[in-house]
Structure 1
C-alpha cells in the first residue's frame, strides 16, 4: 500500500518585495509556518515587530504565522522554496541557499520570477539544472498584480512542472476560493510566454505614449500572440500554452496600462525619457529580456519575430519610437 505524503507545514518565501509579500499572504492561509526571507536585516526585524511590509503594503497586517528571517538556517527543512527575486539575481540567490535547498531535496523550487538571465541567455529552470540542484522545479506565472492578490481579489495563475507531486504541493500551498491554479507540464513554454510578454508590454506602452490609438494596440497584441506561438513551436514547446493564464492572460494584463512597469517604461520612452535613467529607477524585466531574446534569435535564426526586432531597434539602437507603426 502506497504511503500517503504529509501535507506541507513549512514553506520559505525568498524575496520581500511586493510579489513575495503577496505570495506569503496566500501561503499563510494554507501552511502552518511561512518563512519570509530577505538579507535586509533591518527590514526583517521591523517586519517581525509590526507584521507589516511598509515599503509595499503599509496598510496590510500579515498573519501571525508569517515570520521574517534574514539567516539561511531558518530555511532548512522547508516543504517548498518559493523564489520571488529579480531574475538577474536568481542564480546568485540559489547558490547562497544551496545548503538549505539540499536539506529538503524533495521540496520544490517554485520560481515566481519572469525573465531570462542576461549573461547566459538561460531560462530560470535551466539555471537550476545548471547548478545541479536536486529539487524539482515549478514555474508559477499568470496575470497577477500583487496588489490585487493581497487585497483578496479573484485571480488565477498557471503552474508548470515535469513533476506531478511538485504541482500538487504548489496547489496545496496557494490555492483558495480567490486564487485558482491551472496545471500544465510545459515548463519551457510557460517561461517563454511569461518572459516575452514583458517585451510586448513595452511596445504597447510606446504605442500609447505616441497616441497611436486603441485600434493599433489591439492589432499589436494580436500579432504578439502569433509571435508567441511561433516562438514556442520553434523551441519544441506547446503552442497551446499561449492560451493559458500565464500566456495570453498575462500578456493582456501586462499590456493593459501604467500599473505595469514594462508598459510605463515604453510609454516614457515614447515621451523621450532617457532609457538608462529609467532602468536605474526600477527593475524593468522586459528591458533585460529583450536583450536576451534578441541574442537567441540572432543565434538560432530559425524564427522571425518582427515586433521583437522593432522594439529592440527602439530600445537598444535609439531608433525613433514611431517606427513601431510599421508593424501594421
Structure 2
C-alpha cells in the first residue's frame, strides 16, 4: 500500500486509528498538540496514558509539528474533541495544499454555533474539499486489541469513502461506506447525550426495563432531529445510529455513560467530570442538541431533561419523574 495518512489527536481514539492504519501497512503519522506527550510516545513506542497495551507498529511515527503533518500526507484524519475541531483545522490550513482531504472521527457539534462538523470543514477549507466522517460502535481499546469491530465511513464523494475504507479495513475491522454524511454525524453526536441519560438512570438504581426504554425512545429523538437536518432514516437504524447508541449506553467503557452513572449516584457535574478525567463529549452535545431541538420545534424530551440536569441544576430523579409524568400518547 502506497497510501499515507496523518492522524490528528493523540488521545485514545486517534492513537487506536493510527495503530490500525499502520498495522494495515499504511505509513502513518500521529500528531498531538503537547510536545512533551509526543516525546513520551516516541520514547515508549506506545501511548501508556490511553492505550497501555498497544505497541506502535514500525510504520507509525509521531510529531507535534503541523507542517510535518501536511508534508507527510494530504489525507488528514482528525480525532480531536469537538470543541477543538475548528481551531485545529484553522491551525492546519496554512500548511496544506489545495489537494487536502479531511476525514474525522470526532463526534459532536461545533460548540459555538451548533454546526455539523462537515460544515466547519467547508467553512475553514472549501465546499469542494473532500470530507468524510467515521462513526459507529467502536471503543478505542477494543480496536487497539484487534477485537472485531464494524464502523461506517460517510462522504458525499464515494471514492474518498472507499479510499479510507481501504486504509482502515482489515480482518478484524470492517469499514462500511455511506453517502449520508449528515445522518452519520447526527447519530454520533446525539448518542452521547442519551448515554448520559441512560447512565443517570442506572446510577439511580433503575433496571434493564428503564435502560431499554431510554435507548428506544432516545433513538426516536435521534431520528427526529436527524431527518430534520437532512439525514436518512435508514442510517439511524445502522451502525452509526442504533449500533453506536447501544454501545455507548450499555458499556462502562463509555465515558458518557460513566459520567451519567456518577450524576445518578449523587455527584455533581464537576466531581463527575474529574472522576472521568477525559473529554465527555455528551456534555456540550446536550446543550447543542437541546438548542437545535428548540430552533426547529422538535420534541426531544430525554435530551431536554438531560440538558436541564447538566445546565439548570435539575435533580436527576426529578428529570426521570418529569419523563414519566408526560401525557399519555401513541408510541408512533
Q: TM-score, normalised by structure 2?
A: 0.92
Q: Which residue of 2 aligns with 1:155?
A: 149
SS at match of 2:188: helix
Q: Which residue of 2 aligns with 1:40?
A: 34
Mapping 1:272-287, distance limit 5 Å: 272-279=266-273, 281-287=277-283
Check whether the contact 1:224–1:307 (CA below 8 A) recurs between aligned residues.
yes
Matched, 1:80 2:69: no
Q: Which residue of 2 aligns with 1:62?
A: 56
Q: Post-superposition shift, 1:210?
A: 0.8
Q: Which residue of 2 aligns with 1:109?
A: 102
Matched, 1:26 2:28: no
- With over 3 angstroms needed to count, the CA separation of the structure-2 counterparts of 1:9 and 1:236, relative to structure 1, is closer
Q: 1:119 aligns with which of 106, 112, 121?
A: 112
Q: Which residue of 2 aligns with 1:3?
A: none
Q: Which residue of 1 aligns with 2:330?
A: none
Q: Which residue of 1 aligns with 2:327?
A: none
Q: Which residue of 2 aligns with 1:174?
A: 168
Q: Deviations over 1:32-78 (max 9, x none)?
A: 42111112222222322331111122232211110111112221251
Mapping 1:210-221, distance limit 5 Å: 210-221=204-215
Q: Which residue of 2 aligns with 1:4?
A: none
Distance 1:242 1:59 in 2: 33
Distance 1:240 1:14 in 2: 30
Distance 1:146 1:319 in 2: 32
Check whether the contact 1:8–1:169 (CA below 8 A) recurs between aligned residues.
no
Check whether the contact 2:24–2:167 (CA below 8 A) recurs between aligned residues.
yes
Q: Post-superposition shift, 1:226?
A: 1.4
Q: TM-score, normalised by structure 1?
A: 0.93
Matched, 1:231 2:225: yes
Q: Post-superposition shift, 1:28?
A: 0.5
Structure 2 gap segments, 5+ residues each: 325-332
Moved over 4 A (4+): none
Q: Post-superposition shift, 1:221?
A: 0.9
Matched, 1:97 2:92: yes
Q: Post-superposition shift, 1:24?
A: 0.8
Q: Post-superposition shift, 1:299?
A: 2.0
- With over 3 angstroms needed to count, the CA separation of the structure-2 counterparts of 1:176 and 1:32, relative to structure 1, is closer
Check whether the contact 1:220–1:327 (CA below 8 A) recurs between aligned residues.
no
Distance 1:237 1:217 in 2: 26
Q: Which moved more, 1:278-287 or 1:303-312?
A: 278-287
Q: Which residue of 1 aligns with 2:284?
A: 288
CA RMSD of aligned residues (A): 1.6
Matched, 1:313 2:283: no
Q: Post-superposition shift, 1:31?
A: 4.0
Q: Post-superposition shift, 1:123?
A: 1.1
Q: Deviations over 1:191-222 (max 9, x none)?
A: 11100000000110011011111111111111
- With over 3 angstroms needed to count, the CA separation of the structure-2 counterparts of 1:8 and 1:142, relative to structure 1, is farther
Q: Which residue of 1 aligns with 2:179?
A: 185
Check whether the contact 1:311–1:324 (CA below 8 A) recurs between aligned residues.
no
